[in-house]
A and B are shown apart, each in its own frame.
Chain A
Amino acid sequence: MYEGLCLGIESTADDFGVGIVSFDGEILANVNDVYIPERGGIHPREASRHHANVAGKVIAEAFKRAGVKPKEISIIAFSQGPGLGPCLRVGATVARALASYLNKPLVGVNHCLAHIEIGRMINRVRDPVTLYVSGGNTIVSAFEAGRYRVFGETLDIAIGNCLDVFAREAGLRSEPGKPLGAVIEELASRGRRLVPLPYTVKGMDLSFSGLLTAAVNLLREGKYPLEDLCFSLQEIAFSMLTEVTERALAHTEKREVLLTGGVAANKRLQEMLRVMAEEHDARFSVVPKEYATDNGVMIAWAGILCYKYGLTTSIERSFVKLKWRLDDVEVPWFEG
């Protein structure tokens, strides 16, 4: 019935996700279980315990939704990095076990690459400048000479991290289905006054740590309403992101802009990028939320692309790579 099926496992951070995708790109299952800390940010050990606890359940649910049996799976893909070590190791262990048990090839996938590839597939984008923004990543990349080159990235913390830490400092709480970024977005929509905060673009790179410190200091001074601070933080940070994406677009002369990652859900960021892309006659698209946040489907799809080019991972080479860079990965399937 299917030419082949890939089961993909994602576990770089707080999500444990499993996706089942056919070789021609049909998505049969996308199951996710997110670790929600009682307080503070993601504790790697606690998150990895969560992943180990839910792994069996999530995989069983994925098979059930896809309506396929384990033996029908042709390859097993997993997120090999970059990410949090303990979390990555759970996904890798599960993937190794499945691949050995089913006697199927194993494919270690670069997490950032998977975000770009699922976006290209779902949004039917050919050769974009991609802005990938999440709790752990802030990367502007575009394909050039065999790889997704990094044109700009954060020099310190990721934008999602910046927003989350500010939110926690302000005593805000996330709820299921409403991450801290969404809470900030809601408050920002009621903000009116632009409070001066540092705007830090260095060539094509960005820095958010100074912005975060300044915003937190103003918060503690208590002179400004929280709504105005959220509004200003978003306006400044997203303007920086849009400026850098615009630079990459002008530099590479590409015709498409793709927005992905957890922060991609923010409507104000989407709006800024859309306006910018229009000015350059570039097509703008946002990856739908379920495929923009971490998920197993993107890992499965990237695994299929790798597998078709013979890029499998032996068990001995399947150790996790915490700092694996996007521009370290060859992309032989790219046709633009």
Chain B
Amino acid sequence: MIGVLIKKGAEASIYLGEWCGRKVIFKKRLPKKYRLPELDRAIQIQRTKHEPQLIHKAKEAGVPTPIIYMVDLEEATIVMEYIEGKRIKDILNDLTSEERIKISRQIGKLIGRLHKSGIIHGDLTTSNMILTPEGKIALIDFGLSEQSVDLESRGVDLHLVKRALASAHYKYVNECFNAIIEGYEEEMGSDLTRDVLNRVAEIEKRGRYVAER
């Protein structure tokens, strides 16, 4: 037993436990019975290997992420630091408008730093952002991350942010997204930000059914 199951996600099970005297998270990718075993194994290994590499790269970019202690490919498990704090998903709707904007701007800065360093998070939902007791925001779950400096990948990443806001925080989509873009612009500069936003608009229009096309 590696610890207490605290979340059974779609991609992996997250256990809270102890490792060499430290409070840690075990992220174990479970085999998906619905997938062909060979396909499943290939996806599992690729993602288990890849995730710590990008978490490390994110740190170099100045984005708080969990410390990686151990990677076990055989078990498709990553042992990493447990970050104390609250999920942005759980608190965002209950904040004052001022706090919400401040936090969103900070999130935007972190995304900007990632993108500037050629990292695409790939799953920027508010469940994957933790507000620590010190008031810092840490990004977690780099399971779908990739390295890219393409406008397209950056656009899709920001498009996902907007989509996530629209589903879980639909009352504050514009307020939050605008603040995120302000933070993003501080890191990326106005020219790149404009290009990425144009691409986001293009991606939205590419959707099968949109009002304007």
Contacts and interface: CB of A to CB of B under 8 A. Distances in A.
Q: A and B from one assembly?
A: yes
Interface of A: 81-82, 136-138, 144-145, 149-151, 153-156, 158, 194, 199, 201-205, 235-236, 239, 242-243, 246-247, 249-251, 271-273, 275-276, 279-280, 322-326, 328
B54 to A, nearest CB: 15
Interface string B171-213: 0000000000000000000000000000000010011111101
A325 B211 contact: yes
B206 A156 contact: yes
Contact of A275 (B34, B125, B144, B156): B34
Interface residues of B, number: 33
Contacts of A250: 8-10
Contacts of A204: 160, 163
B156 A144 contact: no
Interface string B106-125: 00000000000000001111
Contacts of B206: 155-156
B156 A202 contact: yes
A305 to B, nearest CB: 21
Contact of B34 (A194, A242, A326): A242
Nearest to A203: B160
B209 A194 contact: no
A48 B33 CA distance: 43
Given A250-B10, A323-B209, A324-B209, A202 B144 contact: yes
A137 B124 contact: no
Interface in B68-109: none
B38 A323 contact: no
5 nearest A-B pairs in the assembled complex, by CB-CB distance: A272-B34, A250-B10, A247-B10, A275-B34, A246-B10
